[in-house]
């Protein structure tokens, strides 16, 4: 069975999500190694959520409890956050709920800003990472592949992508009220990853022209060349900070890349630039720092620097716009339909061993009866042919009914009926199809 342990901006504080986002070791392998009943694990970790999708061996007693135990133990081992601190900060989903939740997440319906586009790529990368780590399973592969299909369906069939906006664009829109002309703004970007590239595109859409970039990891020059920006070295970074109208940080650094001390260090160089006339821009207006990092890139003490305002993810979340209900409702309908199809296919797969067991039982009885008829001298085989045709006809309705029940979530009723009527116990689902194939009766009837 599938299980999801989810901590998101809806259930946990950004401080807790921050701590979960920087594991010292990958979490998925720790979950998978916890117990032999764990079939696989995929972890989706973004700035707004930390989710573990776990495939459990369903016949195991208390599979849900074991899955939660494996996940919480892995989180503590990788991040240092004990289960006691997570209490109340996460939710647990199981069975058919898992597919609908992941499909909603991938489609941007569970994001801080409904419809934001970054999450779809993050979900795909989570599966890719788990493949590299060797922690996926057949059912998790199917789940995540169907999630990507559902996301594309939502994107192509609804206006949800236009209704929602990415965190980057929302942050810039919040900044827009204080900026009269983006083309005059001196913008300093800190970070060179995919999020930074999205930020550059959003800045240019706003009309920003003067953009420079700094990388704590030393990749600024390469990024600047690719995107037509100016690179800022570590030595000139404080001066660039003090000189900028807008600073945007979006790195994965585990330490603060900007603090009040950074402004203080750059103030002297900034004042020298103003005195020499090398700073023609009017810096009497308030300046803005937008921190898009998780963990936080900016020390909260920046808010105490005179003339500087700090906008972080927590604040952006509070200003997230109301959902456009029509687009969101249509998107959720598509997600629910996709989840039902996913569950239906899974139920059909789960009922197959029972159907196989019934056919094996019936054809076993048939073989015994045919042998008895042959022993009585039916050399022409007419009786055998008639019996096999009869059995095929009789099995058609029970087989069809099995799949119908499975699609409505009533597979257990069918399995119980087999036990009550025929004494058939489906105890080894994995072995039943193989046994049927060996008898050569998989296509009979």
Q: Is 111 annotated to bind ligand? A: yes
Neighbouring C-alpha atoms within 13 Å toward the C-beta of 408: 8
Alpha carbon distance 161, 114 (integer Å): 8
Beta strands across the sheet bearing 287-291: 230-232, 210-214, 186-190, 246-249, 287-291, 308-312
**CA 150 vs CA 126, 146, 189, 211, 375: distances in Å:** 16, 6, 34, 37, 59
Q: Is 380 annotated to bind ligand? A: no
Q: Is 48 annotated to bind ligand? A: yes
Contact status, residue 286 vs residue 245, Cβ threshold 8 Å: no
Q: What Rg value do the Cα atoms of the chain yield, rounded?
A: 30
Give the max Cα distance, the chain: 117
Strand pairing report for 91-94 and 2-8: antiparallel
pTM comes to 0.61
Active-site residue among 4, 47, 250, 279?
A: 47
Q: Is 336 annotated to bind ligand? A: no
In degrees and rounded to multiples of 5, residue 53 shows phi and psi of -105, 120
Alpha carbon distance 38, 15 (integer Å): 29
Which domains can be identified in the chain, with CATH numbers? 2-164 (3.30.460.30), 167-317 (3.40.50.720), 343-439 (no CATH)
Contact status, residue 70 vs residue 43, Cβ threshold 8 Å: no
Q: Is 118 annotated to bind ligand? A: yes
pLDDT tens for each residue of the chain, 445 residues long = 899 999 998 899 888 988 898 777 899 999 999 988 999 999 999 877 999 999 998 666 688 899 999 999 999 999 999 999 999 999 999 988 999 999 999 988 888 777 777 888 999 999 999 999 999 998 899 899 999 998 888 888 876 665 555 678 888 888 888 888 999 999 999 999 878 888 999 999 999 999 999 999 899 999 999 999 999 999 999 999 999 999 999 987 878 999 999 999 987 655 555 555 555 444 456 899 999 887 789 999 999 999 999 998 878 877 766 554 456 778 888 999 988 888 776 555 565 676 677 777 777 778 887 787 777 776 657 777 777 777 777 788 887 877 777 666 677 777 777 777 777 777 544 434 333 333 333 333 3
Q: Is 122 annotated to bind ligand? A: yes
Q: Is 53 annotated to bind ligand? A: no
Encoded tokens for 424: 């058939």
Q: Is 397 annotated to bind ligand? A: no
Q: Is 297 annotated to bind ligand? A: no
Q: Is 95 annotated to bind ligand? A: no
Q: Is 381 annotated to bind ligand? A: no
Alpha carbon distance 215, 190 (integer Å): 6
Q: Is 47 a catalytic residue?
A: yes
Alpha carbon distance 410, 305 (integer Å): 63
Q: Is 49 annotated to bind ligand? A: yes
């Amino acid at each position: 069975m599938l299980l999801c342990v989810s901590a998101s901006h809806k259930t946990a504080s950004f401080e807790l999500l921050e701590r979960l986002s920087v594991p010292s070791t990958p979490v998925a392998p720790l979950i998978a190694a916890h117990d032999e009943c764990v079939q696989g694990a995929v972890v989706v970790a973004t700035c707004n959520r930390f989710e573990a999708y776990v495939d459990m061996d369903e016949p195991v007693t208390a599979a849900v409890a074991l899955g939660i135990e494996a996940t919480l133990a892995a989180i503590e081992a990788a991040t240092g956050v004990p289960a006691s601190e997570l209490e109340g900060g996460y939710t647990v989903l199981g069975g058919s709920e898992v597919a609908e939740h992941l499909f909603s997440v991938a489609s941007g319906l569970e994001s801080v800003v409904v419809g934001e586009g970054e999450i779809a790529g993050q979900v795909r990368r989570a599966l890719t990472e788990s493949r590299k780590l060797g922690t996926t399973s057949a059912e998790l592969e199917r789940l995540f592949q169907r999630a990507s299909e559902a996301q594309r369906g939502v994107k192509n069939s609804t206006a949800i992508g236009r209704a929602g906006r990415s965190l980057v664009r929302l942050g810039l829109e919040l900044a827009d009220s204080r900026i009269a002309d983006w083309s005059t703004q001196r913008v300093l970007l800190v970070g060179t990853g995919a999020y930074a590239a999205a930020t550059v595109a959003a800045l240019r859409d706003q009309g920003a022209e003067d953009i420079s970039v700094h990388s704590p990891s030393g990749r600024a020059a390469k990024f600047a060349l690719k995107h037509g920006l100016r690179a800022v070295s570590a030595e000139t970074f404080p001066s660039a900070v003090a000189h900028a109208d807008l600073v945007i940080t979006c790195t994965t650094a585990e330490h603060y890349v900007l603090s009040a001390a950074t402004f203080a260090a750059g103030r002297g160089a900034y004042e020298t630039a103003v005195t020499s006339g090398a700073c023609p821009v009017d810096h009497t207006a308030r300046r803005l720092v937008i921190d898009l990092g998780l963990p936080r890139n900016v020390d909260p003490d920046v808010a105490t620097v005179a003339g500087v305002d700090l906008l972080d993810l927590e604040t952006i979340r509070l200003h997230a716009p109301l959902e456009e209900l029509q687009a969101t409702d249509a998107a959720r309908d598509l997600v629910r339909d996709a989840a039902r199809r996913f569950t239906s296919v899974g139920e059909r797969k789960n009922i197959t061993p029972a159907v196989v067991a019934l056919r094996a039982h019936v054809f076993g009885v048939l073989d015994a009866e045919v042998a008895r008829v042959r022993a009585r001298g039916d050399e022409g085989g007419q009786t055998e042919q008639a019996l096999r045709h009869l059995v095929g006809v009789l099995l058609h309705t029970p087989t069809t009914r099995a799949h119908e029940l499975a699609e409505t979530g009533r597979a257990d009723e069918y399995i119980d009926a087999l036990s009550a009527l025929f004494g058939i116990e489906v105890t080894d689902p994995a072995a039943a199809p193989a046994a049927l194939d060996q008898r050569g009766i998989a296509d009979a009837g």
